[in-house]
Structure 1
């Protein structure tokens, strides 16, 4: 993936993510039970990322423990949603490639077999926990 394509993808993803968090905040205020998760709507079983948005919302309201218990992946998403816009702005403003270079290094590390297996095991464990909790 080229630098410009990655940065555009991240920018659009951040806009979508922030829009969804704002929309979800609005929906939660009125206790609307809708979930856009196609997997859960089809199977009735929580997907590995079920609860991430609720986790981010809990974190935004200062509920660190509640956010972790809802879905620990929410902390990762919140960190990405906080750091990435600033990093993008820095790279674009100063014509740097620091985010792109970090992306390429991370991509290489994640392709290491034992790291990929560990990552898969952690996601599977989180999924089992989501199902156990009845999300």
Structure 2
């Protein structure tokens, strides 16, 4: 992926994420609200179920409850806060540090041991989502 495509993709994804978060902020407290297609079809939560609610809890300043809902929410919230700022700084100063960091992270994640570890974390999170009845 080229630098420009990556920057555009991340900025658009963050913008859509902000819009989705604003739209759902009043719905996340409703017990029957679920935007997850997987959960709506199978009645089983997916590994990322609860991420929107977790990010909403962070936005409200409730870090611990966010962690209990879904730890992925912290990762998503960090990306949504850091990535656009980093990309804008890169664009303003004609740098490519975000792109280089992305490439380095990609190299690390492509290592078999790291990939297996991350897949296990996702599976454990999925198991936890199912057990807690998310």
Residues 78-128 of structure 1, C-alpha deviation per residue, up to 9 Å, x if partnerless? 100110111011011111000000000100100000000000000000000
**Which residue of structure 2 aligns with residue 2 of structure 1?**
2
Describe how 1:1-135 pairs up with structure 2 within 5 A.
1-28=1-28, 31=30, 33-135=32-134
Displacement over 6 Å in runs of 4+: none
Structure with the largest fraction of helix: 1
Higher deviation after alignment, 60-69 or 1-10: 60-69
TM-score, normalised to structure 2's length?
0.95
Q: Which runs of 5+ in 1 are unaligned?
A: none
In the aligned structure 2, how far is the partner of 1:128 from the partner of 1:114? 21
In the aligned structure 1, how far is the partner of 2:53 from the partner of 2:28? 9
Secondary structure of residue in 2 paired with 1:27: coil
